[in-house]
Each structure stands twice: as structure tokens, then as C-alpha cells.
Structure 1
Amino acid sequence: MITKLKHHDERTAKQIWSVLQSAYRVEAKLIGREDFPPLFRTVADIKAAKSDYYGYVESNDIAAVIEIEIVKQHLEIHSLVVDPRHFRKGIADKLMHFVLNEFDVTSAMVETAVVNNPAIRLYKKHGFIERDRFTPAHGIEKLALSYFKY
């Protein structure tokens, strides 16, 4: 079941943080970087976020989290992670379908590491197209993808 998470709540923020940490450790290994910036996010960062968090909850356990922000029908996906214990269950696909169809959005944007092929395949499956490649100060080459609903 997909539900909006009350990320300002300490307990919920800790649960979100735990899922983010587990998933981002796998991604850091995939990219070959121990100093992966998302791993430095804190519970306080999550509690203070202006964005919204939605979780895929299975047996009272948060199996996956998507962090989004919607401004004037434009969706920005700040993060999408699945707890490694729940990989290969189609949960990320369900979260993508949810955010693209549940809200009145006409466009969307997401960024991921250029070498994160599983994420890139997921986004392309949902109609995202490559927009830009760039390398921020942390040195991890990234890919920006855009989505337009017609």
C-alpha cells in the first residue's frame, strides 16, 4: 500500500532514514563511491524537508520511499529508494506509476548517476527521456531525465 509519510514526525523520519541508508549503500557500491552524498542526509534533514514523502508499506514496514515536490503541475523526484530486502518486487515501478498518475502533473524531472542503469531503465520505462549529463562538485557524473504528459 502506498501512503503519505509524516516525515516531520521523529519516528517516521528515522524509518525513512533507515530505508534511505540501506538503499543508498547499495547505490554507492554500484557507483564505486564510499562518499556518496545522499548517505550524509540526517534524520533532521528529513524532518525539515519541504518536499513530501510517500512510502510503500508492507506489513507495517516501509519497503520503499519516494520524495517528491510538485510546483505548478511540475513534479520533481528528489529520491526514490527501495529497501534491499524488497528488491525485485516491482515496488519502484508502483511508486513511479503512483506519482505520475495520482497527481495533476504535466511534466517531471529526476536525476541519477549515469552508471545507475536500473534507475535509468525504470525512468525510461515510465516515459522519461535523457535531458542532460553533468558532473557536480562531488564528481559523480549524473544524468537528468525529463517526462512530459501529453
Structure 2
Amino acid sequence: MIFSCPDPALDPHFADKLLTLQREAYAVEADLIGDDRIPPLQEDHEAIAAPRVNWCTAWEGVDLLGAVSWHEHDDHLDIDKVMVSPSAHRRGIASELLAHVRDDAHGRDLVVSTGRDNAPAIKLYIKHGFQHVEDQEVPPGIWITRFRSS
């Protein structure tokens, strides 16, 4: 597996692959939480290339298997997205991507959220030392669970 840190704003081909991965990965979460109104499923090519965040991706040949994005603050990093292709689940890709973000944090806390009913993601974050912070309803009818790790 090869890890890289491309920028979708600079590479339209990568942005296309990233958007495909995002739709596949978040469709799984939508099924788990019973609602497809989650923001990553509403994004288009322009939206995924616009934000200036950090990306780390996992590739097997030309296949994009996983990606994580985050943005930095003085005292913590906000993990925006953790995505793994459904065809690559249970191979440790999300764990390796989280390890990359932790390395980049240089001792700062990590903050992440997921659907409250997304049991696999919650299990992943707890396994990696994240602690539950709060549950929040955003938008109405969709609940997220926020975690923090120091």
C-alpha cells in the first residue's frame, strides 16, 4: 500500500477519485444511521476540491482505498473525514490513516465526529484512544457523536 498527500484542488483526476470514494464510503454510513442527508453525500466535485485541508490517502496501484482529511488549530487537529472503500474494509486502512494524522498532530489533541449509530467508526475511535465528548443533533434528525484524543 502506498500513502500520499495530494491536493484535490491541484489535481482534477484525484478530485474525481476522491469524490467517488467519498460517495461509496459515506453511503455505508448513511445505511448504518438510516439517513442519507449527511453532508459528505451532498458534496460535488467543486466542493471537495475547494477546502484547504490536509489530505492523506492510501492507494493500491491506481485504486484509491482510503483517505483522511483534517485541518489544524493551535491546540488541536479537527479530523473532517475518514473514508475507506467498502471493498477494502477490515484491512487496517483507517487505523493507518489515523496514525498518519496523529503523527502530524505533534502532541496536539485530535477531534473527530461520526454518526451516533455508526458502530464500526465508534469502535475504531475508541480503539485508538478517543474519548466521547458529546452527542449533537445536526441537522434535525441526524445525530453525531464527537470524540477527542490527547
Give TM-score, length-normalised by structure 2: 0.93
1:145 aligns with 2:141: no
**Which residue matches 2:100?**
98
Q: Deviations over 1:71-114 (max 9, x none)?
A: 22411100001011111111001111111124424211011111
Is this contact kept in 1: 2:29–2:115, CA < 8 A?
no
Distance 1:139 1:105, change over 3 A: farther
Q: CA–CA distance in 2 between the matches of 1:38 and 1:56? A: 19
1:59 aligns with 2:61: yes
Is this contact kept in 2: 1:75–1:105, CA < 8 A?
no
Q: Deviations over 1:45-76 (max 9, x none)?
A: 11111111110111121100101111224111
Q: Deviations over 1:104-128 (max 9, x none)?
A: 2421101111111111111111111
Alignment of 1:47-126 (within 5 A): 47-126=49-128
Query: What residue ranges of structure 2 are gaps of 5+ in the alignment?
Result: none
Is this contact kept in 1: 2:76–2:105, CA < 8 A?
no
Is this contact kept in 1: 2:70–2:77, CA < 8 A?
yes
Query: Structure 1 segments of 4 or more deviating over 6 A?
Result: none
Q: Deviations over 1:22-65 (max 9, x none)?
A: 01111111111133332001110111111111101111211001
Give TM-score, length-normalised by structure 1: 0.93
**Which residue matches 1:42?**
44
**Which residue matches 1:7?**
8
Q: CA–CA distance in 2 between the matches of 1:61 and 1:105? A: 32
Is this contact kept in 1: 2:69–2:82, CA < 8 A?
yes
> How much does 1:137 deviate?
2.2
Q: CA–CA distance in 1 between the matches of 2:14 and 2:140? A: 29
SS in 2 for 1:41: coil
* More moved, 17-26 vs 65-74: 65-74
Q: CA–CA distance in 1 between the matches of 2:75 and 2:107? A: 4
User: What do you get for the CA RMSD once the two structures are aligned?
Assistant: 1.3
SS in 1 for 2:141: coil
How many positions carry a matched residue from both structures?
148
Distance 1:103 1:37, change over 3 A: closer
In percent, how many aligned pairs have the same letter? 28
